[in-house]
Structure 1
Amino acid sequence: IESIGKKAAATAVNAAKADVAIADRDGAIGSAEANRARDIQVAENEAEAEKGKKAAKADQRIFVQGQEALAIEGEAIAKANIAEYNAGLAEKEAEAMRRAEVARRTAEMEVQKAQYLLEQERLRADEIVREEIAKTQIEIAAEAEAERLRRIARGEADAILARYTAEAEGVQKVLEAKATGYKSLVAGAGGDPKAAATLLMVEKIETMVAAQVEAIKNLKIDSITVWDSGGDGDGSSTSNFISSLVKSLPPLHDVAANAGVELPEYLGTMSDKESSE
């Protein structure tokens, strides 16, 4: 009984130990599993935490980069706006400068135009003064020349008038003297005007004969050659030529008859043959 009791006690003790061991084992396993699960959970939690940190950092970086990008974009837009503003300002300044330059040049052109017009007016005034002076000088010279020509013409007219007056007076005196002489001649001819005219013609016979002699005095007889058949028996060819030449001169009686004057008989008479010839 004691042995059975001890055996039972030992069995109970061993069973208790086994149970304790199993319980220890199960406890250790549970503890290990709990630790592992805890570690896994901790690791997972840490991983999630790290992931969250990384995600947060990434989000932070993304946000920061986004903000930086936005800042850069804003800066670029601001710079573009500034550049556009500066360009517009430069254009406006250039336009203002261009307008100012145009206005300056326009003003200079207007000034030059005004100076040119003023100079033209001055030159025109000088030219008008010179022309007026020249015109006055020409008028004075023309008036002086006209006065000189008038005086010369007046002097020439007076001289011509005096000459014509003197000539007229001389002619009148000559005519008066001739009239007195003709009157005396007619009275000396017994009051016969025809006889007086005959006497005047007789007075001019010498002049008429001299004119006939003058007509043939330079004729060179020795240089004249007459070609004929030797004459008609009444003279030589040369003598006949001279006779014909003399006969061709107007006889005195014909000249007197043409003047309506009959020469006296002591100067000879014209035969019928000579008259017919």
Structure 2
Amino acid sequence: MGMMMLAAGEGLVFAVIGVAVAVFLFIAMYAATRYKRCPSNKVLVVYGSVGGERTAKCLHGGGALILPLIQDYAYLNLEPMTIEIDLTNALSKKNIRVNVPSTFTIGISTEADIMNNAAERLLGLTEIDIATQARDIILGQMRLVIATLTIEEINQDREKFLGLVNQNVNSELMKVGLEVINVNIRDITDESGYIDAIGRRAAAEAINTAKVEVAEADKGGAIGEASANREKQVLVAEQVAQSNMGQKQAERDQRIKVASLEADGIAGEANAERAKQIAVAEQNAKAVQGKKAAESKQRIEVATLEASAVEGENKSQAEIADYKATLEERKAEAKRRGEVATANAAKDVLEAEKQQELARLEKEEVAQQMIEQRKIEIQAEAEAERQRRIAKGEADAILAKYQAEAEGMQKVLEAKAEGYNRLIEVCGDRKDLAPSLLIIEKLPELVAEQVKAIQNLKIDKITVWDSGSGGGSGDGETVPTGSTGSFLRGLMGALPPMHELAQQAGIDLPKVLGQVADTKSSDAGRTTFEAVPVADEES
């Protein structure tokens, strides 16, 4: 029993160890799959929950363990990108437009802060998108740099120009995580030819300077050569003269010695002595004469050599003066051509500035006129729209008024029709009562219309011309004979008879409105109707 329990315990221990080993191996394999290494030509960007206020963690080289669910990773490529910038019509400091085609080599920086900028702004973009953003930034900064420099500074001091371009472009590219690796300015040209004029002027100045230096060297060589020839000739003349003088001195010494020996041989003879003395005197005289002749010959030869030297010097000076005059003429011609080129360049610059100013003025004037024209059009359209809306409002108001009147009239007519229907229903079999009631309803209006005929008559101002005879009614009744009463009676007879209208309608009016009686006209012999009021008294 104990052995069985021991064996069971050992099996349980082995099972636990096996499970622990399996779990450890699984965790190790999973961690190995989640551990990401960064190649040397890329930047590993770990994003998600990276701790602190950072949005991403960037690594160049090494590796990082990517935590599941809360972190993920991506790579940024560090390979350089070459961007061709064809910058044209960039405005320089002196308002001269230049073309500066260049090639920029850029890449993502490996500095910590700049890598974070690249992770925030370039992660997930293609190389074409990154190159497009960089091209826009480079173009803007190059135009800004060119606007602060003159053509001479751009063309002559390329190092300064490249330094400014590198500084400005690099500072802006770093904001998106990029840096400039290399800048190559291929050429600098302008449409006005100002740079070519500067080059031609510099070449002309260099050529003129070289010509002046060559002339100076030629002049020094000619002068040195003439001086050397003169010194050579003088030294040669001196050596020849000294040689002649030594030869004559030797001959004289020889003759003196010979004469002395002859004088010693003639010891006893006076003639010999005298001859000796004469010979000595002659020899002395000849020696002096020979000496004077040698000196004269020497002076003649020296003078001849000096004259030849002076002639050579004069000839050399004349040639030098002629060369100087030619050199001055060439310098003046070169200076004139340089000034003409400068004037032409300045003329082209002024012409370009003139065209630019005309274009600017035309742009401003045309733009102002177009703005004024657009304002007038907008005001006219607004006024027309206002008028249309007013007219539409008035038309809508009139239409609403007529619709309201029509609806009101329709309501009145419908109410009247309803009233007429009810009136006919009330009358029942007495259909003749309905017209009587309607005429009675309208009697006040009819009476009002009859009253209007005499309401403005001033009775006290009426003058009646009458024969004074009274009249009768024809039935034996006496009528008033007053002129005013007769006039009013005749006037009432001329109005539309109310009783006749009622009789035509088949209605009997109340007695308070008078009666309808048959009368015979004595003069015409026909039947007429007369409205006789109940109380016919003269007022």
Shorter chain as denominator, the TM-score bin is 0.3 to 0.5
**TM-score for the superposition, normalised by structure 1:** 0.46
Normalized per residue, the structure richer in strand is: 2
Greater relative contact order, per chain length (Cα 8 Å cut-off, separation 6+): 1
Query: Which protein has the larger Cα radius of gyration, Structure 1 or Structure 2?
Result: 1
**TM-score for the superposition, normalised by structure 2:** 0.26
